[in-house]
Amino acid sequence: MHGRRLATTDKIIVLTSPDSGEPLERLQDWAAEKGIDVAVVELGEEIGDAYEPGRATLGVTLGGDGTFLEGIKLFTPLGIPQLGVNAGSLAFLARVELEELEAALDEVVRGRATVDSRQKLHVDAPGVDATGINDVMLQHVPPENPFDRKITRLDVFVDGEYVGQYEGTGLAISTPTGSTGVALSAGGPVHMPGDNHTLQITPLQTHSMGVRPMVVSADADIKVVSREQASLLVDGGRAHKILSGGDVIDITGSEERAHVVRTSYDDQFMTAITEKLSWGIRDDPDGPRDLLDDEFPEEELSTVERARDVATEAAQSAGEPLRELHGRVEDVTVKTDKSDIVTEADHQANKIITTIIENEFPDHTIFSEEAETVEGDSEYKWVIDPVDGTGNFAHGNPQYSISIGLLEGGEPVMGVVYVPETDEMFHAVKGGDAYKGEKKIQTSDRSALDESMLLSGWDPDGEFLTHFYQETRGVRALGSAALSLCYLANGSAEGIWEYGTYPWDVAAGVVIARAAGATITDRHGEEYSVEFDSDERKELLGSNGEAHANILEHLQKNEELMR
C-alpha cells in the first residue's frame, strides 16, 4: 500500500489496551477536529460493526507490542493499515511515543507517512491452522522425570530438499519482524523488517557446532517432522499445541501481508533495538546521520519538479484501488452492475489524487473530469483523468491509465501517466527529458509510412483505419489517449491520430510525448494546444517528428476524415 493513499482516511479503528484512556481521549479530540470518525475496540473483542467495508480506514493500536500483535490479527485480514502507538514499556513494533501522537496522525492524513509490507507466516499442523507475524517455535516438552531425555530431534525439509536433523531444545522459524525476538537470542541475524519477504530457520540450543541459521524465500515450503513430542507456539503462544512424534508441521510465508504505517515520528528500527537492547554500536546516533546529510545535501526542487514527484505518488496510490476493482469487473460472483464498479473506480481514484494535491498545493486549481473544479488563486492548474480508458476498464481490459497534468499559465508543464495493471509510470516536465520509471525514453526515427506503426483513438467511422492500414505496418486502437501518447514517446509507434480530444485526455501525455521528441499538431499542421474555453473535442495528430510530414500529407488527402 502506498502511504499517500492514507490522505483519504475518514475513519479510525482504535484497538485499546487497559489503562490507555488518556491517549484515547487525545486521539478522539484530534479526530473530531479533522472530521474523522473513531470506533473503539477493546483488547480481546471482535472488530464487529466497527469495520465498514469501502471506507478509507486506519487502524491504531494503543499499547505495547502485545497490543500491536493483536492489531495485526484484527486489521490484516481486512487490509487495514496499522499505526502502533507505544503506550506500554518495551516496544519494538509500536514505535510512536505518546507525546508524538497528534503529530504522527497529522502526518498520516496528509499522506506523508510510509507503509511497510510485513511478511507473515502460515502454520499447518495437526490441530493447528494459524498465521503469525513473528515466529513459530518448536520446542521440547519437559519430561515428567527430570532424568529423562531433555532434547528434541526435528527433521527439516525446504521445498522437498532434506536440510538435516536439528537436535537441541528446538527451532524458531521467524519472519523479519520476529528476527529480533527468540531467533536473535539464539544467535540468528537481525533483519530490517520493512518490505523484507523472507523466513529464517534458527536452531535453539543445538548440540552441533556446524548448525547455523538459514534464510529462505517466503514462498519456500518448510516441513518439519518431530521425532518425539514437541511444543508448537505461534507468536509467543497465540496458537499453541503439543505435537506427537511423527507429526508433520508445514510452514510457509502467508499470502496475507500486514501493512504497518511508519511516520517520521517513529523511532527508527535500529534506534529502537539498540536503545532497548542496550547495544553499544550507536552511542552517538546523530553523528553518522549528520555526516551522511553533509555528503548528500537535499536538493531543492522547483514547483513543477515537486509537482511531478507528488503526481507520481498520487498515481501509484490511486492505482491500488483501481487494480482491486478492475479484478472484480469480470468476476462472475459480482452481483453489482459493472457500471457501478466503474463509477466507484473513478470516485476512489479521483478522491485520492485530489486530496493528495490539495494537501501539498492548497493554492492550486484542480480540474478533474470526475468532480467539481477546486478553484485556487495561483497560476497553476491540475488536469486529472482518474481513469482514462473507462471502456477498457469496464471490460476487464488492462489498457487504462491515470492521467495527471499540470498547467502553468495555461501551458502544460508537467505530465504523469500511470498504467496500474503493468505498473508503468511515464513522466516528464517541460524542458526536460521524458521517462518511463527511471529510464529515459525517446521517439523512434522512422519516417516512411510503410515502416510506421500508427495508433488511432476515437475514429467514429473507421476512416482513419481504412485510409492508413494498407499504407503502414498497421493501425492499433488502445482506447486510452494518454497511453497512446506515452507509447509514441516510448518509440512503440510512429504516429497517433485522435479524431477528438478533451484537455483531460491529453494534458499529461502531450508533455511526455513532446519531451521525448514528438511533434503534436492539429489536422492542419498547427501546434496543438490544450484549451479549456470550449466544450468541443479537438483533433490531435502526433508523430515521432520524422514521419510527421508524411502522415499529415496522407491525412490531408482524405479530407472526408475531417468532417
Query: Is residue 337 annotated as involved in ligand binding?
Result: no
Question: Beta strands 475-476 and 519-521: pairing type?
Answer: unpaired
Annotated ligand binding at 388? The verdict is yes
- The fold adopted by the segment(s) 121-253 is Tumour Suppressor Smad4 (2.60.200)
pLDDT recorded at residue 260: 93
CA pair distance 276, 291, nearest whole angstrom: 25
Q: At what angle do helices 503-515 and 481-489 cross, to 10 degrees?
A: 0
- pLDDT at residue 424 in the model: 97
Q: Is residue 349 within 8 Å of 402, Cβ to Cβ?
A: yes
What pLDDT shows up at residue 562?
47
What's the pLDDT score for residue 289? 53
How many residues does the structure list for the chain?
Answer: 563
Fold of 449-562: D-Maltodextrin-Binding Protein; domain 2 (3.40.190)
Q: Is 66 labeled as ligand-binding?
A: yes
pLDDT in tens, 18-29: 888 999 999 999
Are domains 121-253 and 449-562 of this chain identical in fold?
Answer: no
- At residue 386, the pLDDT reads 95
Amino acid letter for position 481: A
65 is catalytic: yes
CA 248 to chain CA centroid, nearest Å: 36
CB half-sphere exposure, 78, CA atoms < 13 A:
23
For the chain, what are the domain ranges?
Answer: 3-116+260-295, 121-253, 308-441, 449-562
- 309 known ligand binder: no
Stated pTM of the model: 0.80
CA-wise closest residue to 226 among 136, 355, 321, 290: 136
- Note the pLDDT of residue 560: 52
Q: Which three cell numbers stand for residue 324?
A: 482491486
Q: Is 461 annotated as a binding residue?
A: no
Per the annotation, does 150 bind a ligand?
yes
**Residue 550 counted as an annotated binding residue:** no
Whole-number pLDDT of residue 557: 75
Closest CA to 414 of 455, 374, 384: 384
127-130 contact pairs (CB < 8 A, 24+): 127/241, 128/232, 128/234, 128/239, 128/241, 130/234, 130/238, 130/239
CA–CA dist 10, 351 (Å, integer): 12
- DSSP for 439-491, please give it: EEE-------GGG--EEE---TTSHHHHHHTTTSS-EE--S-HHHHHHHHHTT
Supply the pLDDT for residue 333.
Answer: 46
Instruction: Locate 15 and state its grid cell.
Output: 484497538
* Distance from C-alpha of 16 to C-alpha of 273, rounded to nearest angstrom: 24
Catalytic residue among 65, 247, 266, 267: 65
Please give the pLDDT value at position 561.
47
User: Which option is the CATH number for 3-116+260-295: 3.20.20.70, 3.40.50.300, 3.40.50.10330, 3.40.630.10?
Assistant: 3.40.50.10330
CA dihedral (271, 276, 277, 281) in degrees, to 10, reads: 30
417: β partners = 403, 426
pLDDT by 10s per residue, the chain, length 563: 788 999 999 999 999 998 889 999 999 999 999 999 999 999 989 999 999 998 999 999 999 888 998 999 899 999 999 999 998 766 678 889 999 999 999 999 999 999 999 999 999 999 999 999 999 999 988 877 766 667 889 999 999 999 999 998 999 999 999 998 888 888 888 898 888 999 999 999 887 777 889 999 999 999 999 998 999 999 888 889 999 999 999 999 999 999 999 999 887 777 767 766 666 555 554 555 555 555 555 567 899 999 999 999 999 999 999 998 887 766 544 444 666 778 888 899 999 999 999 999 999 999 998 788 899 999 999 999 999 998 899 888 999 999 999 999 999 999 999 999 999 999 999 999 999 999 999 999 998 888 888 888 877 777 777 778 778 788 888 899 999 999 999 999 998 988 888 899 999 999 999 999 999 998 888 999 888 766 678 889 899 989 898 888 887 777 654 45
Question: Quick check: helix, strand or coil at residue 555?
Answer: helix
CATH topology of domain 308-441: Fructose-1,6-Bisphosphatase; Chain A, domain 1 (3.30.540)
- Cβ neighbors of 295 (< 8 A, separation 6 or more) are none
